[in-house]
């Protein structure tokens, strides 16, 4: 399986902004290959980045029935009539205000850690590369199993 970065080959006559992007990606890859754990420190993931605004806007309100007798797990209060709530893609529901305050700080679901996309390109690359490594390892494991079982 080709690396995510191998697919990003860029031509000489590319736009300056693309070249800049490629440079960041290459720097990223260098750092990541060198020491993935420290890479996290370098770009400072003390807190995961906020969710992208456009992702937050895509969230839908749950139906009224879904709120009956349920509790928002951020503020721990029961939903009242006319309370505004939002549904995460993982189907966890929170008050609109509670959830938005949280997502402006961190991009994951407070209950199950499901991640929304962020606007932080470096963070997205980091996640992608972790995923690629995992699937490479899975492929090798599968290949090994099919050969020796």
Partner 1 sequence: MNNIATQRIKREFKEVIKSEELAKCSIKVDLIGDSYTELKGEIAGPPDTPYEGGTFFLEIKVPETYPFNPPKVRFMTKIWHPNISSVTGAICLDILKDQWAAAMTLRTVLLSLQALMAAAEPDDPQDAVVAKQYKEYPEIFAKTASHWTNVYAGGPNKNSEFDTKIQRLIDMGIERDQARGALSTYNWDLERATEQLFS
Restricted to residues 88-127, the positions that interact with Zn ion (CB under 5 A) are 90, 92, 95, 98, 109, 111-112, 114
Restricted to residues 128-147, the positions that interact with Zn ion (CB under 5 A) are none
- Among partner 1, Zn ion, none, what binds residue 27 when CB lies within 5 to 8 Å by partner kind? none
Please state the length of the chain.
Answer: 149
Region from 27-35, 66-74, 79-87, 120-128 binding Zn ion, contact rule CB under 5 A: 66-74
Region from 10-18, 53-61, 110-118, 134-142 binding partner 1, contact rule CB under 8 A: 110-118
Distance from C-alpha of 67 to C-alpha of 82, rounded to nearest angstrom: 10
Site string for partner 1, 122-141 (x = CB under 8 A): --------------------
DSSP per-residue codes, the chain: ---TTGGG---TT--HHHHHHHHHHHHHHHHHHH-HHHHHHHTT-SSPPPBPHHHHHHPBPPPHHHHTT-B-TTT-PBPPTT--EEE-TTS-EEEHHHHHHHHTT-SB-TTT-PBPPBS-HHHHHHHHHHHHHHHHHHHHHHHHHHHH-
Residue closer to partner 1 by CB (options 63, 101) is: 101
Region from 13-21, 58-66, 71-79, 83-91 binding partner 1, contact rule CB under 8 A: 71-79
Chain residues in the site for partner 1 (CB under 8 A): 45-48, 73-77, 98, 101-102, 105-106, 108-111, 113
């Amino acid at each position: 399986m080709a690396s995510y970065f191998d697919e990003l080959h860029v031509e000489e006559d590319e736009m300056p902004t693309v070249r800049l992007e490629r440079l960041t990606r290459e720097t990223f890859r260098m750092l990541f290959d060198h020491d993935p754990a420290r890479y996290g420190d370098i770009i400072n993931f003390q807190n995961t980045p906020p969710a992208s605004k456009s992702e937050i806007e895509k969230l839908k309100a749950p139906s009224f029935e879904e709120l009956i007798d349920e509790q928002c797990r951020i503020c721990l209060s029961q939903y009242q009539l006319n309370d505004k709530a939002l549904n995460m893609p993982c189907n966890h529901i929170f008050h609109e205000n509670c959830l938005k305050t949280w997502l402006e700080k961190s991009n994951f679901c407070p209950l199950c850690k499901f991640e929304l996309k962020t606007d932080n390109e470096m963070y997205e690359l980091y996640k992608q590369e972790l995923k690629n490594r995992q699937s490479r390892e899975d492929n090798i494991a599968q290949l090994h199993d099919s050969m020796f079982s």
